[in-house]
Structure 1
Amino acid sequence: MPRVKRTLLAAGLAGVLLAGAAVIPVAAAPTSIPGATVAHRTSIAERLRVDRVQTPELDWYGCYEYAECATVDLPLDYDQPNGATTEIAVLRVKARDQKRKIGSLFVNPGGPGGSGTDVALAAPYFLGDELLDRFDVVGVDPRGIAASEQLRCFTSVKDQTRALAGLNVAFPYTKDEERAYVASSIAAGEACSTTGQPLSGAMSTAEVARDMDVLRRAVGDKKLTYLGFSYGSVLGQYYANMFPDRVRALVIDGVLDASAWFGGGKYGDVDQEARMRSAQGADKALREILKRCKAAGVAACPLASGDPVAKFGLVTKRLKAKPLVVDDPDIGQFTVTYADFIALMLNGLYGPYGYNDVAFLTAEVLELTEPATPKAAREQARVALAQRHAQARYDFPYYNGLETFLGVDCTDAHHPRDAGSWAARAAAADKRDPHFGRLWTWLGAPCARDSWTVRDEDRFTGPFDRRTSGPVLVVGNYWDPSTNYNGAVSTAKRLPNSRLLSSDSWGHTAYGTSACVTGAVDAYLLRLTLPKKGTVCKGDVQPFEELPEDPTATRRAETSKSDLAAQGAPRRGEPKQLPPVVAPLPVR
């Protein structure tokens, strides 16, 4: 099948954003693996959980013209391997050269809530030819998500729509919005902790890692080969630390530090964003784009005629004071709030061409909020902004995108108790990391422990420093707006058998946006050859080095929190209704 541009972006993929009887290894002593690095052993607790599950037989059938699909029932609770089960969907694109096949390459696009089957289906569009020749590419929809048995926290679309109404903003900014957001966050947490059970309490990353280990056996691989993006880096780290002697090759790109993701311990009552600092990465990328805009000049950047930083600040000041109301003859009246504008900025930063979004969107809103803007320029700005307007979506059928994100994050990680504390936390985050601090912080409000009360007693709490049998290649992008580069650095330092590959790339994750990164990742997966220590790659696209063919055309990742499933394949259902011009929120 012919391939188009080798990027996750071109494939339309998002990231395409754990106590009690937890699995602290009982037998943590290293063991010698023939032909491999000395590795820690899988703990007795994990071996008892996973290895006693009979290897499932996957009844593959042809699907989507060039793929194979299967479903399998796996234990809802691995402490009860013969008890209740949950259905898991699996898809593979078979290696083109079966005689020379190395094995299976498991892939995950992130989210949490992203569809592994969709990213596997999109493999011919973003993976290299040699990978497609030598590996069966396997995607698993994590429990509760996409084509697997779905999490459902409300009994009807009506109940869901009413309960979550306060979340239908990019992030709350006014006091009224904050009160509504907190109320809906509490409603979401309570619903998923009651109606959503038992699945909502069995969606932790540790359970998905266990599923992946059973499926590794099912496809006939002695050890795991894995490529995970964004939140998929957390899944990769969990697998590496839970099953350290079962790793052949593991690559994580767009890295969240698993220790910071989980929290607790030294982090105390610190919220998840304050631990991971995604907003810091977004702010850093934005400031660098505005700096390069000035250097590029007006031919490349419409903000360069003055001070781009000051112009951006003026737009945010105006929108904070008064939302922009636009009358459009084709789609009717719509409103752009300060929160919408910031979310659109972040959405743009997810792609390597996001500098165009920063420059042109800022210029458009600046002209539309300036009374002295000439009529022709105002009309041009209106048309451009209308093209960014969110498309109308339907209420039916039931869509669980937000719930799947929460089902993993809230069950996985340590979160503060009181949802009412989020307003102060978000305000502090915005002082620390301007504009984006509020957005990233508010995403965790439904996870407040007083309202999200369901727990997974078998979630993984660490340690996250196990030595794996095969090295972990940790890929970090300097300008990632979601998974702060610092997360890759700290993860590589913590994992003793790892290698950090850095890249001066733009957008979220680096694979496919840099020939250097893509080549290094492919070489490792295929031949187990790591890049040299200290290697720094460069992104193929750099801000304002190419003149835009169409200033209104943008290339951005599909990064909606309300539509977390990747877009590589048809998926049942459409998202619920969103309010006008609510920018898609990011996923990890």
Structure 2
Amino acid sequence: MPRKTHRLLTAALAGIVLSVVAAAPGSAAPAAPDRTSKAERARVDAVPTPKLGWYKCYDVAECATTRLPLDYDKPKGATTEIAILRIKAKDQKHKIGSLFLNPGGPGGSATEFALYAPYFLSDSLLQRFDIVGVDPRGIGASANVKCFKSVKDQTAVFDLMNVPFPVTKAEESRYVTGSKRFGKACSTTGRTLAGAMSTAEVARDMDVMRRAVGDKKLNYLGFSYGSALGQYYANLFPDRFRALVIDGVLDPVAWVGNTRQILDERLHSSDGGYRALIEILRRCDRAGETHCVFAAGDPVANFETIARELRAKPLQLPDGDGGTFTVTYAIFVNAILGSLYDLYAGQVVTEISAEVWAALHEGSPAALTERARAVRATKRGYDFPYENGFEASSAVICTDGRHPADAGSWPAATARRDQKAPYFGRSWGWIDSQCANKTWTVQDEDAYRGPFTKRTAAPVLVVGNFWDPATNYQGAVAASRLLPNSRLLSSNNWGHTAYGSGVCATTSIDDYLLTGRPPAKGKVCTDSVQPFTEPLPPPGETTTLSTPTGKQRPPVATLVPESLLTPEK
């Protein structure tokens, strides 16, 4: 890991500073903050400030689009359309500025996220900030990347990858073939935009849009992959933000990676998921059958029994409508992984496990069938219109980082990950197989690959929770160590990201955004709900689950494939 860099003031500057600031005897002068480089100033500042033609949209918001350079080295060259949405601060007289949001993914729509903000952001932020979402290039309401000429061509490739993750040799072979065709499609048909969607380009777009909304300094709150965007902005423009929060944090050095390792070997997302699962099962065992529905026997051993039996033979169940549905090992694992994203992960994980156990061993599939029917009712099957979510996330992952050469190396690599992080090593391991550089050949020449150690003028707030199943807590620790002027806020909550999970984490983030002052060094929030602390309700009754803050949790975008058994989060 690169060491933190600390610039010493020159003698002349030190003399000026010491003439007006009384330093304590023997104390060292503070290191000077880094500034936006000459190269980035030349790229971004050459772009005229867009004049946004705002119009009323969605009853409560304003929308606009503008065109920004496809290549910032050619500010007068080809452009791409960028969409922006804002909800104006309730107290315009005392407005601090705009708060830019990003929901993660990569591939999540920031305009949709901002539109939803009144349901998850604290009222104090809604009072003092215009809430702004800018859809990253290629994504959402911005001009979309399209790697295929038609839905028919897209379907032909994605049908080869139409499993939560491959398990059998036959599935792996099909998935590798699909990955290669996918990479080639984005490097040919989708090349123009796919080769210009790196996170650095999005950070440059955000700096231009900061000017467009009239802000001298950026205020930013980014979740999950949005933490990468925040770190890129902080390192490209270290003197251009007032407050910057990253929640659910990716280690940027691991994100960029090398050509020897797949993405999960670098990020260790599967390790975070496995650690959270085993902790839940052990707490379930300690709590006993009065508090946990999966506590009978040994929950850890029983979970492995379910997995082993589903690997050997998928479970065929009636769907309640005269047909059947199949629960495979991959569907079950992804349902568990998706449930680990929930604030009430303990309850959901153990309920699904108990329902599958009953269907396998007790001939009692009713609860599982009802779950599948309820989940299916919330999901829409379609062929039209063209949906580009997989292409959008891949274009960012594949152009930001370095990846192994051949998609054919993924079966062995994911098997290694599954040995270290059972169940989830394969689930997380396959997310970047399309990025193999023999077949994904398009690259962004202006992608940023470090350093990530700039001393920013304002502090960065880095937020990580101990049981995050996607952005491993160690990512937050690593990022905070890289950034000299950062503060790590830790939380004991379950699920993915910390905002909205407890009063402590939420108000700590709010207060920093409102005042610019980060929480105390080493602060750990311990007020989040914990699993199995309350007795199970009587048969036939359900427990109402709510967040401690009284608002919903942010609908953070994720890369985990949907499962037939996974409830909406």
Give TM-score scaled by structure 2 length: 0.90
Aligned length: 538
In 2, Cα distance between equivalents of 1:103 and 1:512? 22
1:341 and 2:332 aligned: yes
1:521 and 2:515 aligned: no
Indicate the residue corresponding to 1:24 in structure 2: none
For residues 322-361 of structure 1, what are the structure 2 equivalents within 5 Å? 322-330=313-321, 332-361=323-352
1:432 and 2:420 aligned: yes
Give TM-score scaled by structure 1 length: 0.87
Shift of 1:369: 1.2
In 2, Cα distance between equivalents of 1:170 and 1:559? 19
Deviations 1:444-483 (A, max 9, x none): 1001101110010000011000011110000010000000
Contact 1:446–1:452 (CA under 8 A) maintained in structure 2: yes
Indicate the residue corresponding to 2:92 in structure 1: 98
Deviations 1:291-319 (A, max 9, x none): 11112221221111211101101100100
Indicate the residue corresponding to 1:472 in structure 2: 460
Deviations 1:125-166 (A, max 9, x none): 111111111111110000000100011111111110011112
Residue from 439, 449, 459 that aligns with 2:447: 459
In terms of mean alpha carbon deviation, does 532-541 or 83-92 score higher?
Answer: 532-541
Indicate the residue corresponding to 2:120 in structure 1: 126
In 1, Cα distance between equivalents of 2:536 and 2:87? 36
Instruction: Note closer, same or farther for the CA distance 1:465–1:562 as it changes in structure 2 (3 Å cut).
Output: closer
In 1, Cα distance between equivalents of 2:555 and 2:130? 26
In terms of mean alpha carbon deviation, does 217-226 or 72-81 score higher?
Answer: 217-226
Deviations 1:90-121 (A, max 9, x none): 00010111110111111100000001111111
Instruction: Note closer, same or farther for the CA distance 1:331–1:275 as it changes in structure 2 (3 Å cut).
Output: farther
In 2, Cα distance between equivalents of 1:548 and 1:115? 38
Contact 1:357–1:554 (CA under 8 A) maintained in structure 2: no
Contact 1:170–1:584 (CA under 8 A) maintained in structure 2: no
Indicate the residue corresponding to 1:581 in structure 2: 564
Indicate the residue corresponding to 2:158 in structure 1: 164
Indicate the residue corresponding to 1:382 in structure 2: 369
Three-state SS of the structure 2 residue aligned to 1:369 is helix
In 2, Cα distance between equivalents of 1:143 and 1:482? 24
Three-state SS of the structure 1 residue aligned to 2:488 is strand
1:226 and 2:220 aligned: yes
In 1, Cα distance between equivalents of 2:228 and 2:95? 27
Instruction: Note closer, same or farther for the CA distance 1:184–1:559 as it changes in structure 2 (3 Å cut).
Output: farther
Which residue identity lines up with residue 311 of structure 2 in the other structure? Answer: K
In 1, Cα distance between equivalents of 2:429 and 2:32? 40
1:44 and 2:38 aligned: yes
Contact 1:561–1:585 (CA under 8 A) maintained in structure 2: no
Which residue identity lines up with residue 355 of structure 1 in the other structure? Answer: G
Contact 1:422–1:442 (CA under 8 A) maintained in structure 2: yes
Instruction: Note closer, same or farther for the CA distance 1:134–1:275 as it changes in structure 2 (3 Å cut).
Output: same
1:494 and 2:479 aligned: no
Shift of 1:561: 6.2
In 2, Cα distance between equivalents of 1:59 and 1:421? 49
Instruction: Note closer, same or farther for the CA distance 1:403–1:582 as it changes in structure 2 (3 Å cut).
Output: farther
Residue from 235, 259, 271 that aligns with 1:280: 271
- Alignment RMSD: 2.5
Shift of 1:389: 4.4
Q: Which has the higher contact order (CA 8 A, sep 6+)?
A: 1
Instruction: Note closer, same or farther for the CA distance 1:277–1:553 as it changes in structure 2 (3 Å cut).
Output: farther
In 2, Cα distance between equivalents of 1:315 and 1:552? 26
Instruction: Note closer, same or farther for the CA distance 1:384–1:52 as it changes in structure 2 (3 Å cut).
Output: closer
Indicate the residue corresponding to 1:414 in structure 2: 402
Indicate the residue corresponding to 1:308 in structure 2: 299
Instruction: Note closer, same or farther for the CA distance 1:584–1:29 as it changes in structure 2 (3 Å cut).
Output: farther
Contact 1:402–1:561 (CA under 8 A) maintained in structure 2: no
Shift of 1:496: 0.1
Which residues of structure 2 form unaligned runs of 5+? Answer: 1-6, 22-29, 547-552
Indicate the residue corresponding to 1:79 in structure 2: 73
Indicate the residue corresponding to 1:209 in structure 2: 203
In 1, Cα distance between equivalents of 2:568 and 2:441? 25
Indicate the residue corresponding to 1:146 in structure 2: 140
Indicate the residue corresponding to 1:61 in structure 2: 55
Shift of 1:584: 9.2
In 1, Cα distance between equivalents of 2:448 and 2:167? 35
Deviations 1:34-53 (A, max 9, x none): 99983101111111100110
Shift of 1:357: 2.1
Indicate the residue corresponding to 1:400 in structure 2: 388
In 2, Cα distance between equivalents of 1:515 and 1:47? 40
Contact 2:268–2:472 (CA under 8 A) maintained in structure 1: yes
Three-state SS of the structure 1 residue aligned to 2:134 is strand
1:244 and 2:238 aligned: yes
Contact 1:223–1:246 (CA under 8 A) maintained in structure 2: yes
Contact 2:179–2:407 (CA under 8 A) maintained in structure 1: yes
Shift of 1:333: 0.9
Indicate the residue corresponding to 2:494 in structure 1: 506
Contact 1:335–1:581 (CA under 8 A) maintained in structure 2: no
In 2, Cα distance between equivalents of 1:324 and 1:557? 34
Deviations 1:208-261 (A, max 9, x none): 000000011111111111000000000000000001111211100000011110
1:109 and 2:92 aligned: no
Indicate the residue corresponding to 2:175 in structure 1: 181
Instruction: Note closer, same or farther for the CA distance 1:458–1:127 as it changes in structure 2 (3 Å cut).
Output: same
In 2, Cα distance between equivalents of 1:559 and 1:92? 18
Three-state SS of the structure 1 residue aligned to 2:220 is strand
In terms of mean alpha carbon deviation, does 181-190 or 388-397 score higher?
Answer: 388-397
In 2, Cα distance between equivalents of 1:342 and 1:553? 25
Contact 1:352–1:507 (CA under 8 A) maintained in structure 2: yes
1:293 and 2:279 aligned: no
Instruction: Note closer, same or farther for the CA distance 1:585–1:82 as it changes in structure 2 (3 Å cut).
Output: farther
In 2, Cα distance between equivalents of 1:30 and 1:461? 27
Residue from 433, 441, 444 that aligns with 1:445: 433
Which residues of structure 1 form unaligned runs of 5+? Answer: 1-27, 565-577
